[in-house]
Amino acid sequence: MRARSAIPLSALGVVVFLLMWEMLAQSGIVPARLLPSPSAVPGAFLSEFRSGTWQTMVMASLSHYLMGLALGSFLGIAFGTAAALSPWWNAFQAWVVRMLRPIPAIAWIPFAIIWFGVSESAASFLISLTVFWINYYATFSAVRGVDKDLIELAHAFGQGGLVPRLFKVILPGALPGIMSGLRAGLGQGWMTVVAAELFGIPGVGMRMMEASGLLATHIVVLYMVTIALLYGVSDFLFMQVQNRVLSWQR
């Protein structure tokens, strides 16, 4: 099925999902405190928006997210490129990478608090960790996968030095893979935003924890929907940029 013709069916799926959820919540089988109905979300939004809480929390989360995303992506791409290009560096850091890679970002929360306090920097640090690994591996594979014939071409046409080879052949050739890593990091970053803010850093995650403590589950759902929409918008914008940057692909 073509992507364009699948749109009505996908929209129908969302409508059916929301209807079933609404019916289950309205039926009384599950108490409203435990499962708020989707129709309660617009009211929760108006309430949060009028008080200014929604805007404050979203802006705070966006700030953590963008800082963590930028830092993690940059370092992931830089270290991934270095490891792919230098066998010496790759061997030197290989076991360190294997030790650190399996540790999830939330396991770093105690150190984030010790090093940065309950601050924006702590949240950005945790987000950057998640994003770093995704970009590191995506870039490593992409750089390793660059056509060796094109690298030889660079040598044959006077572009064999590290800098021209890197910027004229290797990085452009690896760009599709690097962009895939950036896109995956974009999504994973939002997941970490919530986890990073659960321990009291102002933002969407913290507001969700506050609301759940008061059993205001309709507000929790509102921020869940907010995260989903923010991800959707950021992914859409990224795809527009990617389509433009990779317009040379058939």
Partner 1 sequence: MAAVIDLRNVSIGYGADAPPVLVGVDLTIERGSFVAIVGPSGVGKSTLLRVVSGLHEARTGDVTIHRDPRPDSRAVGLVFQDPRLLPWRRVARNVRLGLEGLAIAAADRDRRVEQALKLVRLDGDYGRRWPYELSGGQRQRVGIARALAVDPEILLMDEPFGALDAITRHGLQDELLRIHRETGKTVLFVTHDLEEAVHLADRIIVLGGGGAGAGPARIVRDVANQPGRDAIAFRDQVEQLRSGIADNYSI
Q: Which of 159, 180, 184, 187 binds partner 1 (CB under 8 A)?
A: 159
| Cβ 208 vs Cβ 224: under 8 Å | yes
Sign (positive or negative) of CA dihedral 237, 239, 245, 250: negative
Q: Which of 12, 26, 92, 155 binds partner 1 (CB under 8 A)?
A: 155
170-209 footprint of partner 1 as x/- string (CB under 8 A): --xx-x----------------------------------
Rule CB under 8 A: say whether 169 interacts with partner 1: yes
| In 40-122, beta strands by DSSP E | none
Return contacts of 142-146, CB within 8 angstroms, 24+ apart. Answer: 142/80, 142/84, 142/174, 142/175, 142/176, 142/177, 142/178, 142/180, 142/181, 143/80, 143/81, 143/84, 143/85, 143/170, 143/171, 143/174, 143/177, 144/84, 145/174, 145/177, 146/170, 146/173, 146/174
Q: Which of 28, 87, 102, 158 binds partner 1 (CB under 8 A)?
A: 158
Residue count, binding to partner 1 (CB under 8 A): 19
- For the bound state, the minimum distance from the C-beta of residue 230 to partner 1, rounded and expressed in Å, comes to 31
Complex with partner 1: residue 153 or 230, whichever CB lies closer? 153
Rule CB under 8 A: say whether 166 interacts with partner 1: no
3-class SS at 118? coil
Q: How far is CA 1 from CA 8, 81, 87, 132, in A?
A: 12, 37, 44, 35
- For the bound state, the minimum distance from the C-beta of residue 177 to partner 1, rounded and expressed in Å, comes to 13
Reported residue count of the chain is: 250
Complex with partner 1: residue 38 or 172, whichever CB lies closer? 172
Rule CB under 8 A: say whether 168 interacts with partner 1: yes
> What is the separation of C-alpha 17 from the centre of its chain, rounded to a whole number of angstroms?
25
Complex with partner 1: residue 104 or 145, whichever CB lies closer? 145
Stretch that binds partner 1, among 90-98, 131-139, 168-176, 180-188 (CB under 8 A): 168-176
Rule CB under 8 A: say whether 160 interacts with partner 1: yes
Complex with partner 1: residue 18 or 153, whichever CB lies closer? 153
Complex with partner 1: residue 228 or 246, whichever CB lies closer? 246
* C-alpha closest to that of 65 among 164, 163, 172, 196: 196
Rule CB under 8 A: say whether 162 interacts with partner 1: no
Complex with partner 1: residue 95 or 248, whichever CB lies closer? 248
| Cβ 146 vs Cβ 173: under 8 Å | yes
Residues in the site for partner 1, rule: CB under 8 A?
149-150, 152-153, 155-160, 164, 168-169, 172-173, 175, 248-250
